[in-house]
Amino acid sequence: MAQWNGTMTLVLGGYVDLEKFRYLYFSLWVLFYFLIVSSNCVIIYVVKIHPSLHEPMYVFIAALSLNSILFSTTVYPKLMVDVLSRRQVASYSGCLFQVFIFYSFATADLVLLSTMAYDRYVSICRPLQYATVMGKTRVCVYLALAWFLPASFIAVVIILQSRQKLCSFVLEGIFCNTTLAKVHSKNPTYLVVLLSFFGIVIVVFLPMVFILCTYVRIFRVAFRSRGEVRAKAVETCLPHVMVLILFTVFIILDLMVAVVEIKLSKILRLILSLQILVYNPLLNPIIYGLKMKEIWKRIKRLGPLSNK
């Protein structure tokens, strides 16, 4: 492994013409990070200051926005430092830590979406039990589990992966994600392979199946009911479905960049990496801000839009 200032490091080799476009990269990172933080903070602020939005559905939306901020903070500040540095490197231990934080928050997104789907199911299909099933204590438990369970599992995977032999010193990306797997031995241990497969099933596949089945059930009940229930289902569930589609795009892009053995040009790999970092954290608050009527009404009152 390469040595830099006495520390074992990996080279981040995903940039294209960095010397030529250094300040363009830096400007993009600052712009994206500012838009992500500001837009998500607006959602959190609006939910916090309006008591009428202190309902489980809006609390989960605010939690999703907070998660997007934390997710982006694991990457963007390091990107800003990298493009202004003489060498784009990351310590191996720091890279492992970034992978842990990055995927802990990424999978927490999916757990939160699962909880939101369940919340909508109870609200629309079992309205008389909603106050009991989605009480304040249970909501707090759901939120805690959404961050604790993914982080616990990802930590085990990272610990096992860190014990693998290294066979390369250059990452193909601009930050540490699943590209880190390619610097390890091409023959991972049986336990790592088994745990990785188990993780994909438990953390990704099962929640997505649960969400899809839940929304199918919701829409079946809604379209058999009167117009008011149908309108409520469409208004509150459609944004969640759109966000789930974005998360699916995130998974596909991440697999294309790092896991699937396909030949990608360096610039195409960079573009895919940028979409991973931008899609969910930036578009989530836009979708909820525009599509959730109660949130949008209050956003319009915050500034110049209030006079329109």
- Smallest CA-to-CA distance from 96 within 161, 186, 152, 8 is with 161
User: pLDDT band for position 91 (50/70/90)?
Assistant: confident
CB 285 within 8 A of CB 65: yes
Residue holding tokens 């009940």?
A: 221
Q: What is the mean pLDDT of residues 261-281?
A: 76
pLDDT computed for residue 5 by the predictor:
45
Q: What are phi and psi of 167, to 5 degrees?
A: -130, 5
Tokens standing for 117?
A: 């789907």
pLDDT computed for residue 305 by the predictor:
45
How many Cβ atoms sit within 10 Å of the Cβ of residue 147? 19
Helix spans in the chain (H): 18-49, 56-73, 76-83, 92-125, 130-133, 136-162, 190-199, 206-224, 227-254, 266-291, 293-300
pLDDT computed for residue 192 by the predictor:
60
Task: Check whether 37 has a pLDDT greater than 60.
Answer: yes
d(CA 304, CA 308): 8
pLDDT computed for residue 31 by the predictor:
95
- Smallest CA-to-CA distance from 102 within 90, 85, 116, 86 is with 90
Which domains, from first to last, does the chain contain?
Answer: 7-307 (1.20.1070.10)
Q: What is the mean pLDDT of residues 107-127?
A: 89
Those residues whose C-beta lies under 8 Å from the C-beta of residue 40, and which sit 6 or more positions away, are: 65, 66, 68, 69, 281, 284, 285
Task: Check whether 263 has a pLDDT greater than 90.
Answer: no
Those residues whose C-beta lies under 8 Å from the C-beta of residue 184, and which sit 6 or more positions away, are: 161, 164, 165, 166, 167
Distances in whole angstroms, Cα of residue 79 to Cα of each of 26, 69, 103: 8, 15, 17
Alpha-carbon torsion 110, 28, 13, 7, what sign?
Answer: negative
How many Cβ atoms sit within 10 Å of the Cβ of residue 263? 6
d(CA 120, CA 256): 32
User: pLDDT band for position 261 (50/70/90)?
Assistant: low
pTM recorded for the entire structure: 0.86
DSSP 165: P
Q: What is the mean pLDDT of residues 260-282?
A: 76
Tokens standing for 136?
A: 């304040």
d(CA 14, CA 18): 10
Judging by beta carbons within 10 Å of its beta carbon (0-12, 13-18, 19+), is residue 65 exposed, middle or buried?
Answer: buried
